[in-house]
């Protein structure tokens, strides 16, 4: 949830409170109302037809917020699916636990910074264009194989590789990040809810085996690049993957699954 929803709820609540004050001031000019009188005022406001338009307007504004946040989720989900698609086999066979997906997305955002949002918007725009062109023939596989989507994926992977210049330290940090189970779940930049844990919760298993399997699958589009992608990659980066991020790929090749 972003900040617009809570702001709108506060605005709506403030409107109701203002109406309560106005009703109390109108009914009692001199003496403050008793609790019984306040109760009567509140009960009257609950059924007052004067609030009908107020609530209709508040509902329309809330739906606008919901639709805007749905759009933002689609942007993020499209980019997330582009990344996680490389890991689908490991998630399906249980090598990787699906519970680590939020940690993976956190990692991507840490590496990319503001570019993560930009990539999300580009993926969303690409999907919209493809849906308009392909209509019912649109598939996610078509999106994954689109040249524009591949360029976004390649940039993401090369940024990740660059962040692993200090391989051992970064590897240990990444394993700890994947093992981490947050005690709160983020609902926005300043909103969190407490995550309930079972009394006896199995520790999340993510060690060297999972690390190697994760990155070897994630980087397969570069380590086992299709011949047709070699020239577009060279045009985009001025080099091939092995010259661009060779040190990282060497570490990855010797990683024992």
- Over residues 240-256, the mean pLDDT reads 92
Other Cβ atoms less than 10 A from the Cβ of 68: the count is: 13
Residue for token digits 């993510």?
206
Q: How many CA atoms lie within 13 A of 212 on its CB side?
A: 10
pLDDT band at 182 (very low <50, low <70, confident <90, very high): low
Largest alpha-carbon pair distance within the chain? 86
Tell me 254's DSSP state: T
pLDDT beyond 70 at 136: yes
* Phi, psi (rounded to 5 degrees) for 184: -130, 155
Q: What is the dihedral of CA 237, 243, 245, 246, to 10 degrees?
A: 170
Residue 9 or residue 95, greater confidence: 95
pLDDT band at 245 (very low <50, low <70, confident <90, very high): very high
User: Tens of pLDDT along 24-83?
Assistant: 777 666 667 677 777 777 787 777 787 778 778 888 887 777 766 665 555 458 899 999
Residue 128 or residue 194, greater confidence: 128
What is the pLDDT at residue 246? 93
Q: Give residue limits of the domains in the chain.
A: 71-253
- Over residues 224-230, the mean pLDDT reads 94
For residues 1 and 189, is the Cβ–Cβ distance under 8 A? no
65: left (phi over 0), alpha (psi -120 to 50) or beta: alpha
pLDDT beyond 50 at 192: no
What is the pLDDT at residue 146? 96
Task: Report the alpha-carbon distance of residue 165 to residue 167 in Å, rounded.
Answer: 6
pLDDT band at 138 (very low <50, low <70, confident <90, very high): confident
User: Tens of pLDDT along 1-26?
Assistant: 445 667 777 777 777 777 777 777 77
Q: Which H or E run contains 150? A: helix 147-163
What is the pLDDT at residue 188? 42
User: Tens of pLDDT along 146-169?
Assistant: 999 999 999 999 999 999 999 999
Mean of the per-residue pLDDT values for the chain? 82
pLDDT beyond 90 at 142: yes
């Amino acid at each position: 949830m972003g900040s617009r929803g809570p702001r709108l709820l506060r605005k709506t609540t403030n409107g109701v409170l203002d109406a309560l004050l106005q009703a109390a001031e109108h009914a009692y000019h001199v003496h403050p109302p008793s609790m019984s009188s306040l109760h009567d005022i509140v009960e009257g406001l609950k059924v007052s037809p004067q609030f009908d338009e107020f609530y209709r307007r508040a509902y329309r504004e809330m739906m606008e917020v919901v639709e805007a946040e749905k759009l933002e989720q689609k942007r993020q989900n499209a980019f997330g699916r582009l990344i996680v698609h490389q890991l689908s086999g490991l998630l399906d066979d249980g090598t990787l636990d699906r519970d680590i997906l939020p940690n993976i997305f956190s990692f991507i955002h840490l590496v990319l910074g503001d570019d993560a949002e930009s990539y999300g918007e580009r993926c969303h725009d690409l999907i919209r264009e493809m849906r308009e062109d392909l209509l019912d023939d649109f598939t996610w596989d078509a999106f994954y194989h689109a040249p524009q989507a591949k360029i976004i994926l390649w940039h993401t992977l090369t940024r990740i590789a660059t962040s692993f210049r200090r391989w051992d330290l970064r590897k240990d940090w990444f394993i700890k990040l994947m093992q981490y189970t947050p005690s709160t779940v983020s609902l926005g930049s300043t909103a969190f809810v407490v995550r309930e844990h079972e009394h006896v919760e199995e520790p999340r298993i993510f060690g060297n085996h999972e690390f190697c399997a994760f990155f070897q699958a994630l980087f397969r589009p570069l380590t086992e690049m299709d011949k047709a992608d070699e020239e577009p990659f060279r045009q985009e980066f001025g080099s091939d993957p092995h010259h661009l991020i060779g040190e990282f790929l060497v570490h990855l090749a010797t990683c024992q699954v």
